[in-house]
Structures are given as structure tokens and as C-alpha cells.
């Protein structure tokens, strides 16, 4: 999906045009730099990117190289906290030394990469007081820019609305306010008070009694929150602004908010997305005596603007994910009734909103009365993968229903069709036939690059059906596929599944397969639906970010 995932740097550094800025990775190498830094250091970006910032730039007062133990950037990276220094020296491109005041704050982007953001000003220019020391105003500006940089980096690191709201609150409470209130406009046109958080004894505490749905925004209301939710400029307010006759239900909710929190001063700013207003951010003070100032309000507006971009992206991404997931669920079939056989199926979407893909199952009655079983996975985790899944699923069902042919012949025909699809598609699939022969049941199947089916019997350990394996679909190599066959003992359970059930970044595939076999053996006598639910709960790794499709079958005992 074409939605920023918080992994880039240009978006952040463009917001910092008044201060020199560069970004280093966890090794201390420069990965991004803004034009102001190039100007101050008299160095082109091409001479900075990829270089060790400490070795290239950081110097002592007399130009001598500094040991890494004295490097503020490294200290910030190791400690994971913001560091500030007033008397640092950097070497410019012409060899001269530049006195700077800098602030270093660690960051982590949406891909999990860590590093540090370095903001610096010339210590001897107009931003400094006498003696080359930076003025209080200069350092306050650095603090503000650092907060905005952290806000941008933090808020764009997630594409989940709830996570973004949580990070927004963490940024402003208690640094700017005792209270933070986030109101979000819903897609149905209403308002949801998503969070009311108070800083108490070092902990951020939700006031659940003040959270929840509210009525739509009245277009005629002149009250501050209503205006902010319509995208009007921010405002400084207090409880007195809501003491008069309320002009809407939202005004009533605001009066209850001030009464319930004891806030004596608040700043309300609209949260604007790219296309529309997303909500409003209210910052309030109750314990600290100082009221919000216009400068505070402008800072809150800047933070709310960054939150709006992040929330807009998150909403768009979640909307696309819902479309893909809904389409995928609607394409998954109702299981057919086959005399003598029990079937159950499950589909579980990925836990991460950034993952939705092409896992599917299918089951249908063939022309000779046999049951056709399919489990498959189209490569990818996006709307294209879900669309590719629909095409592959429908083609396989059509080929299987034409004539009675071995599974390998049908899958070979499917492979040829996949190669001719307009969009490049690769997929794994198991296609099987469950046939009744003289009172017994036989499974015939072929496997195109998919995890092997699992057969769990009442007597004996579960075993994987590794035979009949071949290359996945869509390679264009036209491999010769094999069929395999096995008799299904009475009461046995056959399980077809996708790799999301067993794969984990932190464990080997063999560990996942062993875990699945052990669990299936212990559950073989339970109802099929119970078996599927237990396998999802006990086998699927907690660190797995993939979806899971599962199809289970039991032959009569």
C-alpha cells in the first residue's frame, strides 16, 4: 500500500529549516542531513552521508580528535535519552572550527531502526549570549525543535490509530500539560473522545469515565472545541468559557470535562490531516499554576499538525486493510456437506495492520462425489495479494470441476494460467482429493511449495505428508509435478494450514512444525472446531505478523 510507514527521513528534516540537523544510525553514520546543516558546515550532503559523524565532524576546542567516550551523540544513543551541550566544536569543510550548541535525541523509525537526531546552532552567532554561550532563548528554541522532531519521528512510526494517540499523549504529558484530551472525528460523522489522560504520581492515568462517543459537531457552534473540530485556528480557553448556556451537547461535555479535571487553563488545537480535519487536541493544566501562553499554543498546534498527518495515514491504511480483509473473508467459501466427512475452517487476519494478504482455503464437491480440498498462499501482504488470491482460487476451482483428473494435472494447468496473469503473481498451494474407496477413505494430493499437510491419527504420533511436493506457482519453469496418496484411518484428522501458523522470526521452522504436530496429537479426539481454535491459540507464535488460513477434515471413526 502506498502509505508512508515512518521509515524515511526527508519528511522530518524539512520541518527543521532554521537549525542544522543530521540523523545518524545506530553505528553513528550519517543517514540524512538538512540543507541548513550543509550551509553551516560548508559541506555538501554527498560528503556527509554514510560517514561516521564523530570521526568526521566532532572535535575538541583546539581541533583535536575526541575519544568516543566524550561523544554526546554516542552517549544519547547508549542511554536512550536526550542530551544537550552548549560548548561543542565541529569541523567545517574548509578545516575551520565551529562552536555550536546542540541537542541530541534518540529515535526509532517504523522499521525498528534506531539512531539519533542531532540539532545544532552556531554558538558564536546571534543565537548566543556573551562569551559565546547560547542564550536561554536559543536553547528554548532548540528544545522546541527537538520536541517537534521527536513528535514527527514518533508519530509517524506507527500506522495504528490507537498507537498514534498513545504516542501523542506520551509526548505532551507531562512535558507540556497535566492533562491531554484527544477527540477524533469518526467516519460516520460523530465524535469520539478517544483519550482523557492525567499525569498522577509519575504515571499517565486514563479517565475512562470521561471518554467515549459524543454527538456530531454542530456547524453553528462558536465554542472553542466545536471550532477546532471544524478546523478553525487553535485557542486558549478556561472553565469560564463553558460556564454560559451551552449551544450544543459538545459544549456540555466540555463543561463536564473542566469540572471533572479541575483544569484552569487549556489549549485546544485542531488535528488536521492531509485532506480533512481528523480531530482536536486539548492540553490542560490543573496542578501547575502557570497558564498556557500563545507560544505554548503555537507549539501545541505544531504537534497537533504532525499528529494529524500520522493519524490520516493510519486511518487510510486501516481503511485499505479493512477492504482487503473484507474482500478476503467474502471470498472464503462456506464448507460443503460431504456424507461421512466432517470439516472445519478458520481464517485469522494478521495482528498488525500493515499485514493483510493472500492466505485462503477452499472445499467443494467434485463431479464424482469426492471432496476437493485447497489451502494456498499468494506471495505478498497487501490488497494486490488479496486480489491475486481471488483469481487463483477461482481458477483452481474451475479447473478442478471440469473433468476428473489427478491433482498434479490440475495444478500444472493452474500454474500455466498464473504465469499468464496480468499482474506478476506467485503462490503456494496444496490441492487434494478425498475419495471413498470400498468403505475406506483415500487422500490424493499434490503440493506446490506449501507447508506439508498434517495427518493426526488416534493411535500414534501425528505425521507430515511430505510426498508430492514441488515448485510453487508462477515461476514460469513448468515443473513436472507428482501426486501422492495415503489412506486415512478411521477417526484421523487431516489439517491443511498456511505458514502463518508455524513461522516465527525468533524460532526455526522445524520448531514450529514440531509444536504443531505435538499439539495436534494431543487434540485429535476433540471436535474439529475446538482443534482449530486450540491450534490458533497455542501454536501460532506471538511474534508472527502473518495471517492464517486453516482447513481441517475428519473421516468417520
Just give the CATH number of 332-554. 3.60.40.10
- Give the pLDDT band of residue 5 (cuts 50, 70, 90): very low
- Which whole number is the average pLDDT over 280-307? 91
Is the pLDDT assigned to residue 6 strictly greater than 70? no
Q: What is the pLDDT of residue 135?
A: 46
Percent residues over pLDDT 90 in the chain: 46
- Give the pLDDT band of residue 42 (cuts 50, 70, 90): very high
Confirm if 546 and 500 have CB atoms less than 8 A apart: yes
Domain 161-322 architecture: 2-Layer Sandwich (3.30)
Find the Cα–Cα–Cα–Cα dihedral 259, 265, 270, 271, rounded to 10°. Answer: -80
pLDDT by residue (tens digit) across 194-249?
A: 999 999 988 999 999 999 999 899 888 889 999 999 988 788 999 999 888 888 89
pLDDT by residue (tens digit) across 234-268?
A: 889 999 998 888 888 999 999 999 999 999 999 99
Answer whether 0.75 is exceeded by the pTM: no
Q: What is the pLDDT of residue 286?
A: 95
Strand 440-448, strand 469-470: pairing = parallel
pLDDT by residue (tens digit) across 93-118?
A: 988 889 998 888 887 765 557 788 89
pLDDT by residue (tens digit) across 52-63?
A: 999 899 988 878
- Give the pLDDT band of residue 160 (cuts 50, 70, 90): confident
| Helix, strand or coil, per DSSP, at residue 211 | coil
Is the pLDDT assigned to residue 155 strictly greater than 70? yes
CA separation (Å) from 514 to 409, 509, 530? 31, 9, 20
Q: Which of 38-42, 43-47, 222-226, 319-323 has the lowest mean pLDDT?
A: 319-323
> Higher pLDDT residue, 468 or 156?
468
Q: What is the pLDDT of residue 401?
A: 82
Residue 377: strand pairing partners: 359, 428
Q: What is the pLDDT of residue 408?
A: 96
- Nearest alpha carbon to residue 192 among 279, 108, 134: 279
- Measured between alpha carbons, how far is 457 from 493 in angstroms, rounded to an integer? 6
Q: Where are the domains of the chain?
A: 10-155, 161-322, 332-554
Q: Which of 268-282, 335-349, 371-385, 423-437 has the lowest mean pLDDT?
A: 371-385
Confirm if 191 and 229 have CB atoms less than 8 A apart: yes
How is residue 400 written as a grid cell?
Answer: 478442478
Give the count of beta carbons closer than 10 Å to the beta carbon of residue 510.
Answer: 9
What's the CATH fold of domain 10-155?
Beta-Lactamase (3.30.450)
Q: Do domains 10-155 and 161-322 have the same CATH topology?
A: yes
Give the count of beta carbons closer than 10 Å to the beta carbon of residue 112.
Answer: 8
Is the pLDDT assigned to residue 459 strictly greater than 80? yes
Is the pLDDT assigned to residue 136 strictly greater than 70? no
Q: Which of 21-30, 320-329, 420-429, 430-439 has the lowest mean pLDDT?
A: 320-329
> Higher pLDDT residue, 463 or 142?
463
Q: What is the pLDDT of residue 103?
A: 87
Q: Output the average pLDDT for the chain.
A: 85
Is the pLDDT assigned to residue 72 strictly greater than 90? no
- Measured between alpha carbons, how far is 547 from 56 in angstroms, rounded to an integer? 46
pLDDT by residue (tens digit) across 478-498?
A: 888 999 999 999 999 999 999
Rounded to an integer, what is the distance from CA 503 to the centroid of its chain?
19
- Nearest alpha carbon to residue 351 among 168, 536, 506: 536
Confirm if 118 and 53 have CB atoms less than 8 A apart: yes
Q: What is the pLDDT of residue 64?
A: 81
- Give the pLDDT band of residue 142 (cuts 50, 70, 90): low
Is the pLDDT assigned to residue 18 strictly greater than 80? no
Measured in residues, the chain has a length of 557
Is the pLDDT assigned to residue 33 strictly greater than 60? yes
Amino acid at each position: 500500500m502506498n502509505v508512508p510507514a515512518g521509515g524515511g527521513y526527508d519528511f522530518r528534516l524539512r520541518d527543521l529549516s532554521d537549525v542544522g540537523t543530521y540523523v545518524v544510525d545506530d553505528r553513528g553514520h550519517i543517514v540524512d542531513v538538512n540543507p541548513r546543516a550543509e550551509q553551516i558546515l560548508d559541506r555538501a550532503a554527498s560528503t556527509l552521508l554514510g560517514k561516521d559523524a564523530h570521526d568526521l565532524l566532532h572535535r575538541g576546542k583546539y581541533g583535536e580528535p575526541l575519544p568516543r567516550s566524550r561523544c554526546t551523540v554516542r552517549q544519547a544513543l547508549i542511554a536512550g535519552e536526550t542530551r544537550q551541550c552548549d560548548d561543542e566544536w565541529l569541523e567545517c569543510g574548509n578545516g575551520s572550527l565551529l562552536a555550536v550548541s546542540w541537542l541530541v535525541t534518540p529515535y526509532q523509525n517504523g522499521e525498528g531502526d534506531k539512531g539519533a537526531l542531532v540539532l545544532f546552532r552556531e554558538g558564536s552567532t546571534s543565537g548566543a549570549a556573551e562569551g559565546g554561550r547560547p542564550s536561554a532563548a536559543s536553547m528554548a528554541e532548540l528544545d522546541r525543535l527537538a520536541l517537534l522532531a521527536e513528535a514527527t519521528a514518533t508519530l509517524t512510526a506507527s500506522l495504528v490509530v490507537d498507537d498514534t494517540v498513545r504516542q501523542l499523549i506520551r509526548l505532551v504529558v507531562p512535558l507540556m500539560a497535566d492533562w491531554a484530551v484527544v477527540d477524533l472525528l469518526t467516519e460516520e460523522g460523530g465524535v469520539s473522545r478517544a483519550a482523557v489522560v492525567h499525569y498522577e504520581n509519575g504515571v499517565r492515568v486514563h479517565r475512562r469515565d470521561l471518554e467515549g462517543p459524543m454527538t456530531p459537531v454542530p456547524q453553528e457552534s462558536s465554542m472553542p472545541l466545536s471550532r477546532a473540530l471544524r478546523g478553525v485556528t487553535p485557542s486558549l480557553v478556561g472553565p469560564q468559557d463553558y460556564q454560559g448556556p451551552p449551544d450544543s451537547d459538545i459544549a456540555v461535555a466540555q463543561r463536564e470535562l473542566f469540572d471533572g479535571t479541575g483544569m484552569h487553563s487549556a489549549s485546544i488545537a485542531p488535528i488536521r490531516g492531509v485532506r480533512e480535519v481528523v480531530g482536536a487536541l486539548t492540553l490542560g493544566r490543573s496542578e501547575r499554576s502557570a497558564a498556557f501562553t500563545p507560544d505554548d499554543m503555537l507549539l501545541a498546534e505544531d504537534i497537533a499538525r504532525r499528529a494529524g498527518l500520522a493519524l490520516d495515514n493510519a486511518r487510510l491504511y486501516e481503511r485499505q486493510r479493512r477492504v482487503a480483509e473484507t474482500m478476503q473473508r467474502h471470498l472464503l467459501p462456506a464448507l460443503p456437506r460431504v456424507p461421512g466427512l466432517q470439516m472445519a475452517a478458520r481464517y485469522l487476519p494478521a495482528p498488525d495492520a500493515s499485514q493483510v494478504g493472500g492466505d485462503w482455503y477452499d472445499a467443494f464437491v467434485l463431479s464424482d462425489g469426492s471432496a476437493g480440498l485447497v489451502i494456498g498462499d499468494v506471495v505478498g501482504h497487501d490488497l494486490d495479494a488479496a486480489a491475486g488470491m481471488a483469481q487463483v482460487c477461482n481458477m483452481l476451482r474451475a479447473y478442478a470441476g471440469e473433468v476428473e483428473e489427478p491433482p498434479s494435472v490440475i495444478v500444472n494447468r493452474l500454474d500455466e494460467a498464473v504465469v499468464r496473469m496480468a499482474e506478476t503473481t506467485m503462490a503456494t498451494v496444496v490441492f487434494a482429493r478425498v475419495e471413498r474407496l470400498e468403505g475406506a477413505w483415500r487422500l490424493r494430493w499434490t503440493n506446490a511449495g506449501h507447508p506439508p499437510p498434517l495427518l493426526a491419527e488416534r493411535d500414534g504420533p501425528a505425521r507430515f505428508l511430505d510426498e508430492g511436493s514441488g515448485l510453487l506457482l508462477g515461476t514460469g519453469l513448468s515443473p513436472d509435478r507428482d501426486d501422492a496418496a495415503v489412506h486415512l484411518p478411521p477417526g484421523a484428522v487431516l489439517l491443511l494450514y498456511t505458514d502463518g501458523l508455524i513461522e516465527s522470526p525468533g524460532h526455526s521452522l522445524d520448531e514450529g512444525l514440531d509444536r504443531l504436530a505435538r499439539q495436534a496429537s494431543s487434540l485429535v479426539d476433540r471436535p474439529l472446531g475446538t482443534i482449530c481454535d486450540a491450534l490458533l491459540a497455542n501454536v501460532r507464535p506471538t511474534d508472527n505478523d502473518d495471517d492464517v488460513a486453516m482447513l481441517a477434515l475428519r473421516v468417520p471413526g
